[in-house]
Amino acid sequence: MAWRAGESPDAALANSTLEDACALLAPGEGPVIHSDRGGHYRWPGWISICEGHGLTRSMSAKGCSPDNAAMEGFFGLLKREFWHGRDWAGWAPARFIEELGGWIGRYNTERRSDALGGRTPAEFRAALGRAA
């Protein structure tokens, strides 16, 4: 599982995150990479990375967030548990990103999910023989 955050959602940020995720793949593993219809995901650099790592690209239909229900659910949870109810005024971007990283780390290693058989995401991936 890979993530990055930045002050500008540009192709460099999207591509570097994808490269991080691809570095965790087992040899010959070619998962589906699902995204919305953002320009970064239709950019030649993104497409080239996907092709180079054997990823199958999938895009949501325009205006159809249920196409990616798992990720939409994750972001809803992130908003409820991390974002809402906090005063972010005056936070430097680097501090926010560090705090976000802590939440994501705890989500992956401490938060158990019924959908994953009572395991954390890290435990689930480990059971599949994958890096977390």
104, 3 in Cβ contact below 8 A?
A: yes
pTM of the shown model: 0.80
CA distances from 30 to 19, 51, 62 (A): 13, 10, 25
The answer on pLDDT for 34 being more than 60 is yes
The per-residue pLDDT for range 51-95, each reduced to its tens digit, is 999 999 998 888 777 777 888 889 999 999 999 999 999 999 999
